[in-house]
Structure 1
Amino acid sequence: MTRPTTPRGEHTPAPGVTWQTELVHVETVIDDTAPDPRPNRATRRALKRATRRNR
């Protein structure tokens, strides 16, 4: 048995079957009133060093 050299076409759906496409819009809202997250360890250490130098 030899393999065909042309690619296969798309599968035809059963009669009466249709594709339903739905566009969904997702909105991202950024809350500016939320408190800032805790800074990471390197930032906390840098702030601590800066306050020690200013004393």
Structure 2
Amino acid sequence: MDRVQEADENNKTSVVGLAIKGNKKSKYVVQWALDKFVHEGISIFKLIHVRAVINGVPTP
């Protein structure tokens, strides 16, 4: 928590939003974002879990 507050005071914080589905490729998306943005400074990551829209419910 102190790290985030310190970053806000310095105004060097980046917020990165990642849209993930929860499948195998999501792991690679998160790894890519960590490799890309963490070395540039303090970043806050927001994970957005994307779900498919349900168009109908099958009946037996």
| TM bracket, shorter-chain basis | under 0.3
Higher relative CO (Cα under 8 Å, sequence separation at least 6) belongs to: 2
TM-score after normalising by structure 1: 0.22
TM-score after normalising by structure 2: 0.21
Indicate the structure with greater strand content: 2
